[in-house]
Amino acid sequence: MEELLTLPGVGRKTANLVLILGFKSLRNICVDIHVHRISNRLGWVQTRTPEQTEQALYERVPARWWPYLNLYLVTWGQNVCRPTHPRCGDCAVAGRCPRAGVTKVGKSRAPSG
Ligand code: SF4
Protein backbone atom coordinates (compact mmCIF):
# COMPACT_ATOMS: atom_id res chain seq x y z
CA MET A 1 0.00 0.00 0.00
CA GLU A 2 2.58 2.59 1.01
CA GLU A 3 4.63 2.06 -2.15
CA LEU A 4 1.56 2.36 -4.37
CA LEU A 5 0.60 5.63 -2.68
CA THR A 6 3.91 7.19 -3.72
CA LEU A 7 2.94 6.86 -7.40
CA PRO A 8 1.52 9.98 -9.11
CA GLY A 9 -2.26 10.07 -9.15
CA VAL A 10 -2.67 6.97 -6.98
CA GLY A 11 -4.85 7.36 -3.90
CA ARG A 12 -6.22 4.81 -1.46
CA LYS A 13 -9.12 3.83 -3.75
CA THR A 14 -6.83 2.88 -6.61
CA ALA A 15 -4.19 1.34 -4.38
CA ASN A 16 -6.75 -0.87 -2.68
CA LEU A 17 -8.19 -1.92 -6.05
CA VAL A 18 -4.73 -2.86 -7.35
CA LEU A 19 -4.05 -4.91 -4.23
CA ILE A 20 -7.41 -6.70 -4.49
CA LEU A 21 -7.46 -7.37 -8.23
CA GLY A 22 -3.77 -7.52 -9.04
CA PHE A 23 -2.38 -9.12 -5.92
CA LYS A 24 -5.47 -11.10 -4.78
CA SER A 25 -5.43 -9.38 -1.41
CA LEU A 26 -8.24 -10.35 0.96
CA ARG A 27 -7.31 -7.63 3.45
CA ASN A 28 -8.38 -4.47 1.64
CA ILE A 29 -11.58 -2.54 0.96
CA CYS A 30 -11.77 -0.31 -2.11
CA VAL A 31 -13.98 2.63 -1.22
CA ASP A 32 -15.16 4.81 -4.07
CA ILE A 33 -18.02 7.29 -3.99
CA HIS A 34 -20.65 4.54 -4.37
CA VAL A 35 -19.32 2.51 -1.44
CA HIS A 36 -19.04 5.69 0.64
CA ARG A 37 -22.58 6.83 -0.14
CA ILE A 38 -24.35 3.50 0.29
CA SER A 39 -22.49 2.58 3.48
CA ASN A 40 -23.72 5.83 5.01
CA ARG A 41 -27.28 5.46 3.73
CA LEU A 42 -27.45 1.95 5.19
CA GLY A 43 -26.20 3.24 8.53
CA TRP A 44 -23.10 1.04 8.52
CA VAL A 45 -20.94 4.12 9.03
CA GLN A 46 -21.40 7.80 9.76
CA THR A 47 -18.52 9.37 7.87
CA ARG A 48 -17.76 12.41 5.75
CA THR A 49 -15.07 11.11 3.38
CA PRO A 50 -14.32 7.86 1.53
CA GLU A 51 -11.09 7.58 3.52
CA GLN A 52 -13.02 7.71 6.80
CA THR A 53 -15.50 5.20 5.40
CA GLU A 54 -12.73 2.75 4.51
CA GLN A 55 -11.37 2.78 8.05
CA ALA A 56 -14.85 2.51 9.59
CA LEU A 57 -15.79 -0.41 7.33
CA TYR A 58 -12.79 -2.43 8.53
CA GLU A 59 -14.39 -2.22 11.99
CA ARG A 60 -17.96 -2.92 10.90
CA VAL A 61 -17.85 -5.45 8.07
CA PRO A 62 -16.72 -9.07 8.50
CA ALA A 63 -13.35 -9.54 6.80
CA ARG A 64 -14.62 -12.19 4.40
CA TRP A 65 -16.58 -9.46 2.57
CA TRP A 66 -13.81 -6.85 2.31
CA PRO A 67 -12.52 -7.57 -1.20
CA TYR A 68 -16.04 -7.90 -2.62
CA LEU A 69 -17.73 -4.80 -1.18
CA ASN A 70 -16.70 -2.58 -4.07
CA LEU A 71 -18.00 -4.92 -6.75
CA TYR A 72 -21.37 -5.35 -5.07
CA LEU A 73 -21.96 -1.79 -3.97
CA VAL A 74 -20.80 -0.13 -7.20
CA THR A 75 -23.23 -2.26 -9.20
CA TRP A 76 -25.91 -1.50 -6.61
CA GLY A 77 -25.12 2.19 -6.71
CA GLN A 78 -25.34 2.39 -10.48
CA ASN A 79 -28.69 0.64 -10.69
CA VAL A 80 -30.67 0.98 -7.46
CA CYS A 81 -29.06 3.10 -4.76
CA ARG A 82 -28.15 5.83 -7.21
CA PRO A 83 -26.46 9.09 -6.18
CA THR A 84 -29.70 11.03 -6.62
CA HIS A 85 -33.21 9.65 -6.44
CA PRO A 86 -32.37 6.11 -5.29
CA ARG A 87 -34.92 3.49 -6.30
CA CYS A 88 -35.85 2.49 -2.76
CA GLY A 89 -39.08 0.93 -4.05
CA ASP A 90 -37.01 -1.61 -5.97
CA CYS A 91 -34.50 -2.22 -3.20
CA ALA A 92 -34.16 -5.69 -1.69
CA VAL A 93 -32.86 -4.30 1.60
CA ALA A 94 -35.32 -1.42 1.95
CA GLY A 95 -36.84 -2.96 5.07
CA ARG A 96 -33.48 -2.87 6.82
CA CYS A 97 -32.24 0.48 5.55
CA PRO A 98 -32.60 3.70 7.57
CA ARG A 99 -32.05 5.68 4.32
CA ALA A 100 -29.78 8.08 6.10
CA GLY A 101 -29.54 11.35 4.18
CA VAL A 102 -32.06 10.32 1.51
CA THR A 103 -34.55 13.13 0.87
CA LYS A 104 -36.04 12.15 -2.49
CA VAL A 105 -36.49 8.73 -4.01
CA GLY A 106 -36.77 7.80 -7.67
CA LYS A 107 -39.53 6.00 -9.50
CA SER A 108 -39.70 2.27 -9.18
CA ARG A 109 -38.94 0.25 -12.29
CA ALA A 110 -40.85 -2.76 -11.01
CA PRO A 111 -44.05 -3.47 -12.95
CA SER A 112 -47.14 -2.41 -11.06
CA GLY A 113 -50.17 -4.61 -10.47
S1 SF4 B 1 -33.50 1.49 0.66
FE2 SF4 B 1 -32.92 3.17 -0.72
S3 SF4 B 1 -31.23 4.22 0.37
FE4 SF4 B 1 -31.42 2.18 1.30
S5 SF4 B 1 -29.96 0.87 0.18
FE6 SF4 B 1 -31.98 0.67 -0.80
S7 SF4 B 1 -31.97 2.16 -2.49
FE8 SF4 B 1 -30.30 2.74 -1.05
Domain ranges in the chain?
2-96
Number of the ligand 1 atom closest to the C-alpha atom of 86 = 7
Q: What is the pTM of this model?
A: 0.92
Question: Which CATH number applies to 2-96?
Answer: 1.10.1670.10
95 C-alpha to center of ligand 1: Å?
9
Using the CB atoms, write b or e for 20-51: b if 16+ within 10 Å: beeeeeeebbbbbebbbbbbbbbebbebeebe
Express each pLDDT in 30-88 by its tens digit. 999 999 999 999 999 999 999 999 999 999 999 999 999 999 999 999 999 999 999 99
pLDDT band at 16 (very low <50, low <70, confident <90, very high): very high
Pocket test for ligand 1, best of 36, 39, 41 (most atoms within 8 A of CB): 41
Q: Which residues are catalytic?
A: 13, 32
